[in-house]
């Protein structure tokens, strides 16, 4: 049977239904899927090596014998390390696995068995080791020395060699190749390799370019990576131009209340705040819907900027709503709004999940007759019954917690209301371009005057007591503190116990200190009571899970102690740290690490001692943890890359992005003949709404 791109796997010679089913469980259904299952590395057999000659950083392939296979627990956790000791006649070396590739991976190996090891040599505490190398049976055709052999991700029952063999069959027998969809001029201008050639090369690389292939830097790689980025950017570009072509509300240029607020503040707005507001003002008066993201580090004063926008909406006789990710935060905004906006005549309402039915009815009435100007709440705002008289502006705080869908639902509550989105997760430049490619961005890169930098210390568990004493000494001087415990989903119960147990212990240990406990499982009213007590300084220390991560603002709190800091991502640590350093007193952040953390983790966390710049933290986090951290539920397309990597391939991303925006700029409706394939592909990939602005 002739193979076509959509031919199912099971019809490939030597496959059959059983293997076919195995493949489709891993998302590979047809010939095209298989061809797009790119090698994750290449084994260079020309560089035959022995163990004694290994050096840190070498990527090598060598033959050796198994001496032992063992496993043991990692520190005190239940995670297992697998350890395979191998030798040749020059020496021995360990192969370590911190996550098991799959069940049974190690059962294949017997002591004394000859194997081939492919991997990178790592220096671990002065000793050379392999971490997660590939261990393979020695093949009979090993003397094929001059080859660059593709290595595929292995799964149970699907060895790299088996996958490779199937792909080679396809390459030989397939009767068609994926069609070029990019316009010829684009391909030429960027000197891109033809798509079919790139696909072929990735599976059958030229050995002389071995190093390029292993670094994802061959021309074949560049071609495929470019295309993956290009589709996403084209989508974002079209969405953006769609948004820009919509009609929106034009707010009036007169803004007496905004002026009054600015004049009444006990401090000066920072230049960054002023600039952001200026950009917002321009958008709001333009007659086109605003879609603006304000990015600013924790404590940079985003709330105030958003209140100014709300006042501008008020001055133009429109209503505003503000959605926050947690009840605590919604209430804090509500209290601030009452404090700062009430005397300007703004009537504010609060709506959360705990608002009683009777109250809700009242709010609904006041919303519909325009009595409430500014509604603040949690995602309860999205519910159907929340109907405005004339919603003009939607503010979303800490956007990364919400999805795009929710933005859409809020949008329908008005006639093209303006959108202002605020985030304190500084998104690395790389990601902002892609994740928020459809939004305009304002950056608040300046802290209000008079803040003293937070001093950060990373310590071991053994120093915990002195750290607590340090905390108490500050409490005796009238300051307040947080102690935060991680809440990791899979072990939620244990962690909860951690915070609660610790709270009980601390009360006994320091009877003079007033402790409060806050965690996600408490009733909203209880949470609220604790938070209020803390804010009013009826409590000295808040023992908490990460519910306080975002937004909470208590300027008298100057100590943040984070337990098990090794379990947090850096951006999260940065957020937590941002809860202190909000007032005039010097603040401290103490990050406590367990005994059993790896060198790598230790270095990662110690990075926090050196920088207080959220953007730097985010860049670093992105490098080591990948983009998932920043995505929320925003762009599933972004994590769907088969080959592209936002950090490694940033340079290609920039080019692809410019190309996409340029094409749409010159041919906004993608009408030209050359762009037909783009138009069709965009529709196919993202549905007809992707082109709503264009069509």
Q: Which C-beta is closer to ligand ADP: that of 552 or that of 678?
A: 552
Between CA 445 and CA 424 the distance in angstroms is 11
Q: Per CB under 5 A, does 325 bind Mg ion?
A: no
Site for Mg ion in 529-558 (CB under 5 A): 551
- Partner that binds at residue 413, options ligand ADP, Mg ion, none, CB closer than 5 to 8 Å by kind: none
Query: Least Å distance between CB 446 and ligand ADP?
Result: 9
Among 121, 192, 341, 424, binds ligand ADP (CB under 6 A): 424
> CB of 101 within 8 A of CB of 131?
no
Sketch the per residue contact string, 230 through 259, with ligand ADP: x for CB under 6 A, - otherwise. ------------------------------
Other beta carbons less than 10 A from residue 13's beta carbon:
13
42 CA to centre of own chain: 29
DSSP 511: T
CB closer to ligand ADP, 35 vs 447? 447
3-state SS assignment for residue 169 = helix
Q: Is 289 in the site for Mg ion (CB under 5 A)?
A: no
Q: Which residue is nearest to Mg ion (CB)?
A: 551
Assigned token pair, 440: 């305009």
- Separation CA 72–CA 90 (nearest Å): 27
Residue 150, interface with ligand ADP (CB under 6 A)? Answer: no
Residue 562 CB coordination number (10 Å): 27
Under rule CB under 6 A, residue 614 binds ligand ADP: no
Task: Rule CB under 6 A: choose which of 166, 232, 269, 328 binds ligand ADP.
Answer: 269
Cβ at position 681, least distance to ligand ADP in Å: 40
302 near ligand ADP, rule: CB under 6 A? yes
Cα–Cα distance between 132 and 98 in angstroms, integer?
8
Whether 513 contacts 472, CB under 8 Å: yes
Q: Report residue 634 as tokens.
A: 């925003």
- Which of Mg ion, ligand ADP, none does residue 183 bind to, with CB < 5 to 8 Å depending on kind? none
Closer CB to Mg ion, residue 136 or residue 579? 579
CA distances from 357 to 352, 354, 389, 444 (A): 11, 9, 20, 39
**Distance of closest approach, residue 297 Cβ to Mg ion, in angstroms:** 10
* Mask for 552-591, x = binds ligand ADP (CB under 6 A): -x-x--------------------------x---------
For residue 419, list its beta bridge partners. Answer: 291, 394
Residues with Cβ within 8 Å of 692's Cβ and at least 6 positions away in sequence, in order, are 242
The residue (of 205 and 426) whose beta carbon lies closer to ligand ADP is 426
151 near 41, Cβ under 8 Å?
Answer: yes
Stretch touching ligand ADP by CB under 6 A, among 167-175, 200-208, 292-300, 428-436? 292-300
Least separation in angstroms between CB 425 and ligand ADP: 11
Element (H, E) at 644: none
Among 112-120, 281-289, 293-301, 373-381, which window interacts with ligand ADP (CB under 6 A)?
293-301
448 binds, among ligand ADP, Mg ion, none (CB under 5 to 8 A by kind): ligand ADP
Told to check if 581 binds Mg ion by CB under 5 A, we report no
- Closer residue to ligand ADP in complex, CB, 423/675: 423
Listed in sequence order, the residues at least 6 apart from 296 whose beta carbon sits closer than 8 Å to its beta carbon are: 272, 276, 302, 422, 424, 426, 443, 444, 445
Shortest separation between residue 377's beta carbon and Mg ion, angstroms = 15
Among 7, 30, 37, 300, binds ligand ADP (CB under 6 A): 300
Contacts of 625 (CB under 8 A, 6+ apart): 569, 570
Q: Of the two residues 551 and 614, which places its CB atom closer to Mg ion in the complex? A: 551
Q: Which is nearer to Mg ion, 248 or 551 (CB)?
A: 551
CB of 503 to ligand ADP, least distance (A): 26
If one asks whether residue 270 binds ligand ADP (CB under 6 A), the answer comes out as yes
1: number of Cβ within 10 Å: 8
Cβ-based nearer residue to ligand ADP, 222 or 302: 302
Residue 304 touching ligand ADP (CB under 6 A): yes
Kindly tell me which of 195 and 439 has the beta carbon lying closer to ligand ADP: 439
CA dist list (Å): 564 to 15, 483, 593: 49, 11, 5
Q: Which residue number, 397 or 629, has a Cβ lying nearer to Mg ion?
A: 397
Q: What are phi and psi of 319, to 5 degrees?
A: -90, 160
516 binds, among ligand ADP, Mg ion, none (CB under 5 to 8 A by kind): none
Q: CA-CA distance, 137 to 147, in Å (whole number)? A: 17
Question: At its nearest, how many Å lie between Mg ion and the CB of residue 265?
Answer: 17
Question: Rounded distance, CA 287 to CA 167, Å?
Answer: 55
Minimum distance, C-beta of residue 296 to ligand ADP, in the bound complex (Å):
5
* Binding partner of 269, given Mg ion, ligand ADP, none, CB within 5-8 angstroms per partner class: ligand ADP
User: 444 Cβ partners below 8 Å, 6+ apart?
Assistant: 270, 272, 273, 276, 294, 295, 296, 297, 300, 301, 302, 305
Q: Which residues contact 546 (CB under 8 A, 6 or more apart)?
A: 484, 485, 486, 487, 572, 576
Smallest gap from residue 262 Cβ to ligand ADP (A): 10
Strands 80-88 and 59-73: antiparallel
Secondary structure of residue 235 in the 3-state scheme:
helix
Q: Which residues contact 406 (CB under 8 A, 6 or more apart)?
A: 323, 379, 382
Stretch that binds ligand ADP, among 91-99, 216-224, 294-302, 487-495 (CB under 6 A): 294-302
Decide: is 299 part of the binding site for ligand ADP (CB under 6 A). Answer: yes
Whole-angstrom Cα distance, residue 497 to residue 500? 5
- Rounded to a whole number of angstroms, the minimum distance from the CB of residue 258 to ligand ADP is 15
C-alpha dist (Å) from residue 651 to 213, 218, 654, 657: 17, 14, 5, 10
Q: Considering only 250-258, 301-309, 359-367, 626-634, which stretch makes contact with ligand ADP by CB under 6 A?
A: 301-309
Q: Choose the one of ligand ADP, Mg ion, none that binds residue 221, judging by a C-beta under 5 to 8 angstroms depending on kind.
A: none
Q: Which does 304 bind (CB under 5 to 8 A by kind): ligand ADP, Mg ion, none?
A: ligand ADP
User: Which partner from the list Mg ion, ligand ADP, none does 298 bind, CB cut-off 5 to 8 Å by kind?
Assistant: ligand ADP
Binding track, positions 439-458, relative to ligand ADP; x by CB under 6 A: ---------x----------
**CB of 248 or CB of 301, closer to Mg ion:** 301
Residues engaged in binding ligand ADP (CB under 6 A): 267-270, 273, 296, 298-304, 424, 448, 553, 555, 582
Kindly list the residues in this chain that would bind Mg ion in the complex (CB under 5 A): 551
């Amino acid at each position: 049977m002739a193979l076509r791109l959509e031919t199912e796997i099971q019809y490939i010679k030597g496959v059959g239904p059983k293997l076919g089913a195995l493949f489709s469980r891993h998302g590979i259904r047809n010939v095209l899927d298989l061809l797009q299952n790119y090698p994750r590395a290449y084994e260079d057999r020309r560089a035959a090596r022995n163990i004694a000659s290994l050096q840190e950083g070498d990527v090598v392939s060598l033959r050796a014998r198994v001496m032992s296979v063992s496993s043991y627990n990692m520190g005190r956790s239940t995670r297992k390390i697998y350890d395979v000791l191998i030798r040749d006649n020059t020496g021995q070396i360990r192969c370590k696995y911190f996550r098991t590739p799959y069940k049974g991976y190690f059962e294949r190996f017997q002591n004394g068995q000859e194997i081939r090891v492919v991997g990178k040599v790592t220096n671990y505490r002065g000793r050379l080791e392999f971490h997660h190398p590939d261990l393979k049976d020695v093949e009979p055709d090993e003397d094929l020395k001059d080859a660059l052999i593709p290595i595929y991700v292995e799964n149970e029952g699907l060895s790299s060699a088996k996958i490779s063999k199937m792909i080679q069959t396809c390459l030989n027998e397939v009767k068609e190749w994926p069609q070029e969809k990019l316009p010829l001029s684009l391909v030429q201008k960027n000197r891109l390799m033809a798509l079919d050639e790139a696909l072929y090369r990735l599976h059958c690389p030229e050995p002389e370019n071995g190093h390029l292939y292993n670094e994802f830097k061959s021309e074949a790689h560049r071609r495929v990576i470019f295309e993956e980025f290009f589709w996403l950017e084209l989508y974002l570009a079209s969405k953006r131009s769609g948004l820009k072509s919509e009609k929106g509300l034009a707010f009036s240029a007169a803004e007496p209340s905004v002026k009054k607020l600015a004049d009444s503040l006990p401090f000066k707005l920072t230049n960054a705040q002023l600039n952001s507001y200026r950009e917002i003002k321009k958008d709001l008066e333009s007659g086109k819907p605003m879609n603006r993201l304000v990015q600013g580090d924790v404590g940079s004063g985003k709330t105030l900027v958003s209140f100014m926008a709300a006042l501008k909406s008020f001055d133009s006789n429109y209503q505003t709503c503000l959605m926050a990710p947690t009840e605590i935060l919604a209430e804090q905004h509500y209290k601030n709004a009452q404090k700062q906006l009430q005397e300007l005549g703004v009537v504010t309402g609060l709506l959360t999940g705990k608002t009683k039915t009777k109250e809700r009815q009242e709010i609904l009435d006041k919303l519909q007759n325009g009595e409430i100007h500014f509604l603040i709440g949690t995602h309860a705002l999205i519910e159907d019954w929340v109907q405005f008289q004339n919603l003009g502006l939607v503010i979303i705080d800490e956007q990364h917690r919400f999805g795009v869908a929710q933005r859409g639902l809020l949008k329908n509550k008005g006639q093209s209301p303006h959108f202002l989105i605020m985030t304190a997760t500084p998104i690395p430049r790389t990601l902002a371009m892609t994740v928020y490619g459809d939004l305009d961005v304002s950056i608040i890169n300046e802290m209000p005057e008079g803040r003293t930098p937070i001093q950060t210390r990373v310590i071991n568990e053994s120093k915990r007591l002195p750290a607590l004493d340090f905390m108490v000494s500050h409490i005796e001087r009238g300051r307040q503190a947080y102690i935060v415990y991680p809440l990791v989903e899979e072990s939620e119960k244990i962690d909860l116990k951690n915070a609660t147990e610790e709270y009980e212990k601390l009360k006994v240990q320091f009877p003079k200190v007033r402790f409060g406990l806050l965690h996600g499982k408490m009733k909203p009213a209880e949470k609220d009571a604790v938070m209020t007590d803390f804010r009013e300084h009826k409590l000295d220390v808040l023992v908490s899970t990460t519910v306080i991560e975002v937004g909470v603002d208590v300027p008298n709190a100057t100590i943040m102690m984070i337990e098990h800091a090794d379990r947090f991502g850096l951006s999260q640590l940065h957020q937590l740290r941002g809860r202190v350093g909000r007032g005039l007193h010097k603040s401290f952040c103490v990050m406590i690490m367990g005994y059993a953390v790896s060198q790598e983790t230790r270095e990662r966390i110690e990075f926090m001692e050196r920088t207080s710049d959220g953007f730097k933290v985010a860049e670093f986090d992105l490098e080591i943890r990948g983009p998932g951290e920043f995505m929320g539920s925003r762009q599933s397309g972004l994590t769907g890359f088969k080959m592209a990597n936002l950090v490694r391939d940033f340079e290609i991303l920039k080019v692809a992005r410019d190309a996409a925006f340029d094409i749409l700029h010159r041919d906004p409706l993608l009408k030209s003949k050359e762009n037909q394939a783009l138009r069709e592909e965009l529709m196919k990939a993202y549905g007809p709404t992707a082109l709503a602005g264009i069509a």
